[in-house]
Amino acid sequence: MNDDRRIIIFDTTLRDGEQSPGASMNQAEKLRIASQLEALGVDVIEAGFPAASDGDFEAVKAIANTLKRAQVAALCRASEADIRRGWDAIKDAAHPRIHTFIATSELHMKYKLQMEPSEVLKKAVESVKLAASFTDNVEFSAEDGSRSDRDFLCTVFESVIDAGATTINLPDTVGYAIPEEFGQLVKYVIENTSNIDKAVLSVHCHNDLGLATSNTLSAIKNGARQVEVTVNGIGERAGNTSLEEVVMSLKTRPNFFPQTTGINTTRIYPTSRLVSMITGILVQPNRAIVGANAFAHEAGIHQDGVLKNPMTYEIMKPETVGITKNSLVLGKHSGRHALNAHIQTMGYNLSDDELNVVFKKFKNLADKKKRIQDEDIEALINEGVLRSSEVFCLEYIHVLSGNTVFPTASIQLNINGRPVHGSTEGSGPIDAVYNIISKLTGTKSELLRFTISALTEGTDAQGEVTVRLKEDGITALGKGADPDIITAAALAYINGLNRLEYLKTHPPKEEALL
Ligand code: KIV
Ligand code: ZN
């Protein structure tokens, strides 16, 4: 990886991405995403922030102990306790990396850290030295780097490289930079950090002005060799630079960018879907590369052109990013083998037990819906495999509704292995369902958002419901799919409550940590 044209892809979906509101994931979910990222070809996976919570520590440790090829990074503040905890979590990884950071902008130093620049410099150096005593793979980030004094930034970078940092990262923490300016800053750092040849220069951009990808590409053009990204661009506030946009920009414009990556682009779309399903964060239809409309040609003139030669209106082939919408539609008579073969073409590898669960659900769905499409199968995988350790499960649901009756819902749940049932009324069928679920589970969450959409075309389509719940200051997303939209709404609510239960025992990081 000494080739200067090979860009190192550092993925922080599991750390910065997890800081998206409501996106908290449990350990099994994080492990699944980490394995998918490794298969995607990501070079460095930032698995989490071990000092933030015991749950984070355990998840980082599990990922570190599982991955074989990718480097596993643990984020640590520039403090002895954080670095020791971080190292404890990753010390058994095949390729561990400690990533330590401290803010270098005047604003952050004065108001957040209440430290003098000389103290910040000292802390940065001490932290990197400590990290370097554990591993020779140490990354240092100058938080709010893009708003820092350029010369102070170069002094800090020079000192931490002397102290043992092998990667120095320049973050645009608040998404304030403009591409040309950010590229110039990268160039300035390269020209004014005397020992820069001993480290890899990385960038980490946020998308507050919608410029994260542009800033990252401008940085690459000016000499950055590592880019920090997330799948679907999820992350704090408006998100981070999106992995797929940067990777496909380099691949699609090789004459402009001689740089390459180690990403297997055909795994981009399955990875995007997996992250969306696990986090519950929907991908907007017009999102570049991975949105539902990214390769859809609506205008007649475009359709005509694409039929004559796809290159008229398509700059990338959908198959290049793993969109394999083949016409094979599964149905009632499809066997376990055909289902598995199809699931594999969608980019998933299920164990025998997981396949059994999905196959059973598939047969149930096929009794209700003739043509089972990819979107349906994804929903089955989501419900049957990706959701783990559920406290509340739906056993049955009966709902009475119409314009001449009081909507009433009767429900049986399984709560920690114990069946409980009850019924109640509501202003509408969903209100009735949510009232009885809340009563049976003894939860008092607030419903902040409720959306419903059809997974596929046709009146027999599965309805997919997404909810956003809040309880005791914690928010969580829930998703459910079923041909019966009231059942889908119940499943989404129960999924959201399960996520809240998990978060109650694994509290999210304190806001003040970052
Ligand atoms: O945005 C940021 O500055 C960060 C650092 C911790 C790298 O996420
Ligand atoms: Zn960040």
204 and 172 belong to one structural domain = yes
Into how many domains does the chain fold?
3
Which residues contact residue 472 at a Cβ distance below 8 angstroms, ignoring those fewer than 6 apart?
504
Cα of 135 vs centre of ligand 2, distance in Å, is: 23
37 and 181 belong to one structural domain = yes
Could you tell me the pTM of the whole model? 0.86
415 and 479 belong to one structural domain = yes
Instruction: Measure the CA–CA gap between 277 and 238, rounded to whole angstroms.
Output: 19
Q: Is 322 part of a structural domain of the chain?
A: no
Q: Output the CA–CA distances (angstroms, integers) from residue 498 to 57, 148, 378, 469, 494, in the order listed.
A: 21, 42, 20, 11, 6
CB-ligand 1 contact for 99 (6 Å cutoff)? no
407 and 347 belong to one structural domain = no
For every one of its 514 residues, what pLDDT tens digit does the chain have, with 9 covering 90 and above? 457 799 999 999 999 999 887 677 888 889 999 999 999 999 999 999 999 999 899 999 999 999 999 999 999 999 999 999 999 999 999 999 999 999 999 999 999 999 999 999 999 999 999 999 999 999 999 999 999 999 999 999 999 999 999 999 999 999 999 999 999 999 999 999 999 999 999 999 999 999 999 999 999 999 999 999 999 999 989 999 999 999 999 999 999 999 999 999 999 999 999 999 888 888 999 999 999 888 876 677 777 777 788 888 789 999 999 987 655 568 788 889 989 988 888 878 899 999 999 999 999 998 888 888 888 898 899 888 876 568 999 999 999 999 999 999 999 999 998 999 999 999 999 999 999 999 999 999 999 999 998 988 888 899 999 999 999 988 888 889 999 999 999 999 999 999 898 888 776 554 445 5
Last residue of a domain, one of 384, 419, 454: 384
356 and 472 belong to one structural domain = no
428 and 447 belong to one structural domain = yes
Look up the CATH number of the domain holding residue 462.
3.30.160.270
Cα of 196 vs centre of ligand 2, distance in Å, is: 22
CB-ligand 1 contact for 143 (6 Å cutoff)? yes
Token duo for residue 224:
């950055």
In this structure, what DSSP letter does residue 509 have? P
Q: Is 30 part of a structural domain of the chain?
A: yes
361 and 500 belong to one structural domain = no
CB-ligand 1 contact for 55 (6 Å cutoff)? no
Q: Is 100 part of a structural domain of the chain?
A: yes
Domain limits at 355?
Answer: 336-384
Instruction: Measure the CA–CA gap between 50 and 201, rounded to whole angstroms.
Output: 24
455 and 356 belong to one structural domain = no
380 and 436 belong to one structural domain = no
In one letter, which amino acid is 70? A
364 and 484 belong to one structural domain = no
354 and 460 belong to one structural domain = no
Cα of 228 vs centre of ligand 1, distance in Å, is: 10
The residue whose CA has the least distance to atom 2 of ligand 1 is 173
261 and 348 belong to one structural domain = no
